[in-house]
Amino acid sequence: MNMRIINILVFAIFVSGCAGSAMPNFYNGKYYMAGDSNCRYMRQLEDNKIMCSDSSGKEIGYREAMTDQQLQMYMHQQSIDQANAAMYLQYMQQNTPVNCSSYAVGSTVQTNCF
């Protein structure tokens, strides 16, 4: 497989993170860390508290709303992760080795590099 394609796939996985990870979800006017396997569904318990259920509807436990500071820190970390991934991809594209193969076609030799 072409090294550039591999690098792009690594970049995409790095940026997207784990698809099953909790992330801030806006629910009834507040943000809650949810979306992971233990908090697939939410139900309001109190003003700042939700009950989390798994994909089968089994209640797992409660989570409290994120503070403004927690939400800002989460978003800041996401921007750092994206910047790091972009720098990694740029580095890999600049330092990708070139692979060449030569083969004979009639009396000429052709070389393909990628």
Express each pLDDT in 47-103 by its tens digit: 999 999 999 999 999 999 999 999 999 999 999 989 888 888 887 777 766 677 777
Of 54, 35, 53, 33, the residue nearest 43 (C-alpha): 53
Most confident by average pLDDT, 11-25, 32-46, 96-110: 32-46
- How many CA atoms within 13 Å lie on the side-chain side of 80? 6
Distances (CA, A) of 96 to 9, 91, 92, 113: 14, 8, 6, 12
Average pLDDT taken over every residue of the chain: 82
pLDDT of residue 114: 62
Residue 39 has pLDDT above 80, yes or no: yes
